[in-house]
A and B are shown apart, each in its own frame.
Chain A
Amino acid sequence: MVIAQILVNGIISGLAYALFALGFGLAYNTTRIFNFAHGAVYTLAAYSFYTSYVTCGWHILPAAVLSLGIAAAAGIAMDEIVYRPLIERNASLLIPLLSSLGLYTVIVNVIAAIYGNENKTLSPGLQPAYTFGPIILTRIQITIAVVFVFLFSTLLLLLKRTNLGKVIRAMRDDPELLSAMGVSQHRVRLIAFGIGSGFSAFAAILLGLDVGIDPNIGMAALLSGAVAVIIGGVGVFEGAALGALTLGILQSLITWRFSSRWTEAIAFVVLIVFLVFRPEGIAGQRRRVDEIAP
């Protein structure tokens, strides 16, 4: 049944984007900055993986670990060097957003200048595939699903059961409480950025192995991430995953029914629809200007 295959493909790509969305959502909830540069970290991770795995012929595991490290380091560096001084200056949240757009442009264009604009495959040749009744799954698709389940549960456990998790959630809901608790907000930001970038890297590597990479994948991931976070509810971590899954399935169906040319546009229509019509977010996020009582 073709539809089953379509759905499964959609779910798998949704899961990969969900990884990104979780990381993105974590950083967004903690820092309240819509961070375009998260997409740059994604691209950076993909290309460092490409360089170590394909160009230098490393084994897949150390290549992945290296990319993770680079991604985390880049994410943290960007926060330290670019965003924190802005926050300290008491700037509104639009300034870091704009700066992140600038950062994204710089990083992605450096990569494009070095590697060129064409799509590069990370796993040459045909992927080993396994049949499950009417559905065929490649090895990489199965890996995506497995990695997702593992990371998702780990993140959930971290957030709900550990002290670190409590602290991160407090940062989202009530940052002043943290200082009262004697925890440095700075530390929490770093950790959130680090984990967020790490998740980005995972998503980048997995999706890269599946469909290849090019300098623009960051924006696609970013926008899927944003849509996912908004659909799932700003402030709800698990919501991001749910949102990404929904988006993945939706895009798969659109591709099948119409053509892949419209998938990105559809994602944006969904984004706008949710921005406009979704009632006040889960955490009571007031999004309309005239709902702020002076």
Chain B
Amino acid sequence: MNYLFHILIIICIYSILALSLNLLVGYTGLLSLCQAAFYGIGAYASVLLMTAAGLSFPLAVLLAMVTTAIISLAISVPSLRLKGDYFVLASLGFQMISFAVLRNWVTVTNGPYGISGIPRPSLLGFEIDGLGSYFIFSGVIALVCALLIYLLTASPFGRVLKAIREDEIATMALGKSTFRFKITAFAIAAAFAAVAGSLFAGYMRFIDPTSFTLTESTFVLTIIIVGGAGNVAGPLLGTVLLIAFPEALRFLPMPDAVAGNVRQIIYGALIVLMLRYRPRGLWGEYEFE
């Protein structure tokens, strides 16, 4: 039972990541490789705010969201005017820089040793301790995030994002500052990634930079490619599929290190195969093109 809760909690956390990346990739048409960087920055930020500043979980998460969104400007403002593949490179660069900072800024992040002993979040005096409770907690947060993201995408704001995805020139010719919209979408995606990071930190009670690597960014992208982009179902179902299915690998007899590699091989192969044969993903609305 505990195992099941564990999977469900992870699904909740990753669904927030997937939905946030979908806002960028599926709705705005921006391919970003640094979602894990914001995941990590958000995690570290909320942990530090709770431990060093003594803030409660909700407040820490809120501030972590704001912090991460502001940090996102450091990369989005310089590079969102660049064309597609140059922007991807810049996001890749940011991902690597963030990882290097998390790993080397030892005074703040404790470097490769990570931060342990993270307290479980407590709401109104109650500590959310058991796995079952944490699942409900993260489930509710994931639902709220999904709802907020849905509101955004169904609104005129979302409509402009889709227009930018379809034809940025025409969108500019309609008097919209596409640059501003893209920056906003990027910051929002970063903020939601920070929420996922905070949930992750509170669950694992330990974070270190190896959870926030390029591999992780690629994984979230794989969820979108496999599950589908441009709607809510794609990322959600993609998350369930890509989290639950590899768990089955656990029961195959192979050493742990190799299992990790096998998992990555499957993800990589999925990217290649889906883009070739089913660019819309399994349940998506937007075809990668």
Contact = CB atoms under 8 A, between A and B. Distances in A.
Given A34-B89, A95-B288, A109 B264 contact: yes
A66 to B, nearest CB: 24
Given A106-B264, A292-B169, 12 more contacts: A82-B272, A95-B279, A95-B289, A102-B275, A105-B267, A113-B258, A116-B257, A264-B96, A268-B94, A272-B90, A272-B93, A289-B82
Interface residues on B, range: 35 or more
A278 to B, nearest CB: 11
B276 A82 contact: yes
B230 to A, nearest CB: 15
B270 interface: yes
B272 A102 contact: yes
B143 interface: no
Interface string A93-132: 1110111011111110110110011000000000000000
A101 B79 CA distance: 21
A288 B82 contact: yes
Contacts of A287: 82-83, 86
A103 B269 CA distance: 7
A254 B237 CA distance: 45
A289 to B, nearest CB: 6
A109 B93 CA distance: 22
B86 A272 contact: no
Interface of B: 31, 75, 78-79, 81-86, 88-90, 92-94, 96-97, 100-101, 103-104, 168-169, 172-173, 178, 214-215, 218, 221-222, 225, 257-258, 261-262, 264-265, 267-272, 275-276, 279, 288-289
A262 B103 CA distance: 10
Nearest to B267: A105
A92 B272 contact: no
Contacts of B79: 272, 275-276
A246 B225 CA distance: 37
Q: Is the interface of B mostly helix, strand, loop or mixed?
A: helix
A94 B84 contact: yes
Interface residues of A, number: 47
A105 B271 contact: yes
A73 B218 CA distance: 26
B261 A98 contact: no
Nearest to A40: B268
A271 B95 CA distance: 12
Q: Is the interface of A mostly helix, strand, loop or mixed?
A: helix
A186 B222 CA distance: 30
Contacts of A91: 279, 288-289
A133 interface: no
A268 B85 CA distance: 16
A268 B288 contact: no
Nearest to A111: B261
Contact of A269 (B89, B97, B214, B265): B97
Contacts of B269: 102, 106
A290 B94 contact: no
A170 B31 CA distance: 30
B101, B173, B257, B275: most-surrounded residue (chain A CB, <10 A): B275
A257 interface: no
B279 A109 contact: no
Interface in A254-294: 259, 261-262, 264-265, 268-269, 271-272, 275-276, 286-290, 292, 294
A264 B93 CA distance: 10
A243 to B, nearest CB: 14
A105 B264 contact: yes
5 contacts: A95-B279, A98-B31, A105-B218, A223-B96, A271-B93
A70 B79 CA distance: 37
Contact of B96 (A95, A268, A292): A268
Contacts of B103: 261
A109 B265 contact: yes
Interface in A236-262: 259, 261-262
Contacts of B84: 92-94
A136 B200 CA distance: 50
What 10 A-B pairs have minimum CB-CB distances, sorted nearest first? A102-B271, A105-B268, A265-B100, A106-B268, A268-B93, A113-B261, A102-B272, A109-B264, A109-B261, A276-B78
Contacts of A268: 92-94, 96-97, 100
A92, A97, A268, A290: most-surrounded residue (chain B CB, <10 A): A268
A122 to B, nearest CB: 22
A106 B289 contact: no
Given A93-B84, A95-B288, A289 B93 contact: no
Nearest to A110: B265
Contacts of B31: 94, 97-98
A110 B289 contact: no
A62 interface: no
A102 to B, nearest CB: 3
